[in-house]
Amino acid sequence: MDKAQQDALKKAAGIEAAKLIHSGMIAGLGTGSTVRFLVDELGRRVKEEGLEFTGVTTSRRTQEQAEGYGIKIVDIDDVDHIDVTIDGADEVDKNFNGIKGGGAALLWEKIVATNSNKIVWIVDESKVVDTIGKFPLPVEVIPFGAGQVIKKFEAKGYKPVLRLDADGKEVRTDENNFVVDLHLDRIDHPQELAQDLITTVGVVEHGLFLNMVDQVIVGDPNGPRILDNPNKK
């Protein structure tokens, strides 16, 4: 699949997911290229259909895009609930376990997700996999002592790589932390790995989102496909 085809599937998933947002709702808005299509569609509906809703964003990038369309964005601590959060994902398997954080927004994404009544992911079909882990697993770490955390990951065989930008500088998250990507190739025991990562001092959060998502909307050449998580009904 080339990039244009992939973008078309991402856009179709984003447009489908935008139908879940109605006036009066509080919506969590994720981060990434698929979510950009979602926000474009919501912006169109605000302008053309008079849609009025409040958003809580998972990154400053999404906040800027949404506010550019006149969408009202508030701080997560200024809402008492979030009706639905729509976000992208890097991989998702048949047990609705996924990897997120390709866009370095995993910490805010997990905080918004855990405070949402419903979580929906929008992906193109290439993200649906048998076993997660081919996509390097992002881990957000505190800069102080990050080298020591990386050494611990190396000793465990996690193949860590500190994420750098195009200028060779460490990528910083919206919380000013580093991202370390674990090149695991496959993750057969995600719960155990999640537990090990989150109990490593210096780790703030990891990109394993295990059985959290309620629904996945897959951009498919035959039209968007909806996968409902049976464990969340």
Residues identified as active-site: 109
Whole-number Cα distances in Å, 217 to 24, 67, 68, 112: 23, 25, 25, 19
102 binds ligand 5RP (CB under 6 A): yes
Query: Contacting ligand 5RP (CB under 6 A), which of 28, 43, 55, 101?
Result: 101
Which region among 24-32, 73-81, 162-170, 211-219 touches ligand 5RP (by CB under 6 A)?
24-32
Provide the minimum distance between the beta carbon of 53 and ligand 5RP in the complex, in angstroms, as a whole number.
20
CB of 193 to ligand 5RP, least distance (A): 17
Q: Work out whether 30 is an interface residue with ligand 5RP (CB under 6 A).
A: yes
Rule CB under 6 A: say whether 103 interacts with ligand 5RP.
yes
Smallest separation, CB 99 to ligand 5RP (Å): 8
Q: Does 28 bind ligand 5RP (CB under 6 A)?
A: no
